[in-house]
Amino acid sequence: MSDYSFFGAVEKSFDKAAQFTTWDPGILEQIKQCNAVYRMHFPVKIGDKVEVIKAYRVQHSHHKLPCKGGIRFALSVNLDEVMALAALMTYKCAIVNVPFAGAKGGITIDPKKYTPYELEKITRRYTSELIKKNFIGPGIDVPAPDYGTGEREMAWIVDTYTSMRPGEIDGLGCVTGKPVTQGGVRGRREATGLGVFFGLREVLSMKDVMDKLGLPVGVEGKRVVVQGLGNVGYHTAKFFQEHGAKIVGLSEYEGAIYNMDGLDVDKVVEHRKTKGSLLNFPGSTNFAKNTDALEMECDILIPAALENVINGQNAPNVKAKIIGEAANGPLTPEADENFAKRGILVVPDMYLNAGGVTVSYFEWLKNLSHVRYGRMEKRFTENLNTHILGQIEDLTGKKVESKEKELILHGPEEVDLVRSGLEETMITATREIMEVWKKNPQIPDMRTAAYVVAINKVGTSYAELGIFP
Ligand code: GLU
Bridge partners of 324, per DSSP, are 347
CA pair distance 225, 120, nearest whole angstrom: 35
In the predicted structure, residue 4 carries a pLDDT above the cut 60: yes
pLDDT tens for 315-347 read 999 999 999 999 999 999 999 999 999 999 999
Q: Give the mean pLDDT of the chain.
A: 97
Binding site membership of 367 for ligand 1 (Cβ less than 6 Å): no
| Nearest residue by C-alpha to atom 9 in ligand 1 | 69
In the predicted structure, residue 465 carries a pLDDT above the cut 90: no
The pLDDT of residue 469: 61
Q: Which atom of ligand 1 is nearest to the CA of 353?
A: 10
- For the chain, give the number of residues: 469
CA pair distance 195, 217, nearest whole angstrom: 19
Cβ-proximal residues to 302 (8 Å cutoff; 6+ apart), any chain: 196, 224, 225, 226, 227, 233, 236, 237, 323, 324, 325, 326
Domain at 185-377+412-469: CATH architecture: 3-Layer(aba) Sandwich (3.40)
> Which whole number is the average pLDDT over 41-50?
96
Handedness of CA 19, 29, 2, 354 (dihedral sign): negative
Binding site membership of 68 for ligand 1 (Cβ less than 6 Å): yes
Q: How many CB atoms lie within 10 A of CB 233?
A: 25
- Select from 136, 192, 361, 426 the residue to mutate for testing ligand 1; criterion: most ligand atoms less than 8 Å from CB: 192
| Nearest residue by C-alpha to atom 8 in ligand 1 | 357
pLDDT tens for 117-152 read 999 999 999 999 999 999 999 999 999 999 999 999
Give the CB-side neighbour count of residue 96, counting CA atoms within 13 A.
36
Q: What's the pLDDT band for 3 if we cut at 50, 70, 90?
A: confident
> Which whole number is the average pLDDT over 410-425?
97
Q: Are 118 and 46 in contact (CB under 8 A)?
A: yes
Phi then psi dihedrals of residue 102, to 5 deg: -90, 145
CA pair distance 431, 438, nearest whole angstrom: 10
Query: Ligand 1: distance of its center to the CA of 358 in Å?
Result: 8
Give Cα 157 to chain centroid, integer Å: 20
Q: Which of 104, 178, 238, 457 is catalytic?
A: 104
In the predicted structure, residue 285 carries a pLDDT above the cut 80: yes
Binding site membership of 108 for ligand 1 (Cβ less than 6 Å): no
Give the CB-side neighbour count of residue 222, counting CA atoms within 13 A.
32
In the predicted structure, residue 201 carries a pLDDT above the cut 60: yes
Q: How many CB atoms lie within 10 A of CB 425?
A: 23
The pLDDT of residue 46: 96
CA pair distance 404, 398, nearest whole angstrom: 13
Phi-psi region of 305 (alpha: psi -120 to 50; beta: other; left: phi over 0): alpha
CA pair distance 463, 458, nearest whole angstrom: 9
104 catalytic residue (yes or no): yes
Q: What's the pLDDT band for 464 if we cut at 50, 70, 90?
A: confident
Q: What's the pLDDT band for 78 if we cut at 50, 70, 90?
A: very high
pLDDT tens for 238-248 read 999 999 999 99
In the predicted structure, residue 355 carries a pLDDT above the cut 60: yes
The pLDDT of residue 467: 67
Q: Which atom of ligand 1 is nearest to the CA of 145?
A: 1
Binding site membership of 321 for ligand 1 (Cβ less than 6 Å): no
Cβ-proximal residues to 111 (8 Å cutoff; 6+ apart), any chain: 73, 74, 119, 148, 149
Q: What's the pLDDT band for 1 if we cut at 50, 70, 90?
A: very low
Binding site membership of 459 for ligand 1 (Cβ less than 6 Å): no
CA pair distance 388, 319, nearest whole angstrom: 52
CA pair distance 430, 414, nearest whole angstrom: 24
Q: What's the pLDDT band for 2 if we cut at 50, 70, 90?
A: low
In the predicted structure, residue 188 carries a pLDDT above the cut 80: yes
Q: Are 357 and 92 in contact (CB under 8 A)?
A: yes
The pLDDT of residue 340: 95
Query: Ligand 1: distance of its center to the CA of 93 in Å?
Result: 10
3-state secondary structure of 188: coil
Q: Which atom of ligand 1 is nearest to the CA of 147?
A: 1
- Select from 360, 365, 418, 422 the residue to mutate for testing ligand 1; criterion: most ligand atoms less than 8 Å from CB: 360
Instruction: Give start-end residues of each CATH 3.40.50.10860 domain in the chain.
Output: 36-182
Q: How many CB atoms lie within 10 A of CB 290?
A: 19
The pLDDT of residue 299: 98
The pLDDT of residue 468: 64
Phi-psi region of 282 (alpha: psi -120 to 50; beta: other; left: phi over 0): beta
Instruction: Give start-end residues of each CATH 3.40.50.720 domain in the chain.
Output: 185-377+412-469
pLDDT tens for 237-279 read 999 999 999 999 999 999 999 999 999 999 999 999 999 999 9
Binding site membership of 328 for ligand 1 (Cβ less than 6 Å): yes
Binding site membership of 69 for ligand 1 (Cβ less than 6 Å): yes
Query: Ligand 1: distance of its center to the CA of 192 in Å?
Result: 8
User: Closest Cα partner for 328 from 16, 33, 88, 5?
Assistant: 88
CA pair distance 31, 168, nearest whole angstrom: 32
Binding site membership of 173 for ligand 1 (Cβ less than 6 Å): no
Pick one of 3.30.1280.10, 3.30.70.520, 3.40.50.720, 3.40.50.10860 as the CATH number of 36-182.
Answer: 3.40.50.10860
The residue ranges of DSSP E strands in 139-282, in sequence order, are 141-145, 223-227, 246-252, 255-258
Give the CB-side neighbour count of residue 62, counting CA atoms within 13 A.
12
Binding site membership of 84 for ligand 1 (Cβ less than 6 Å): no
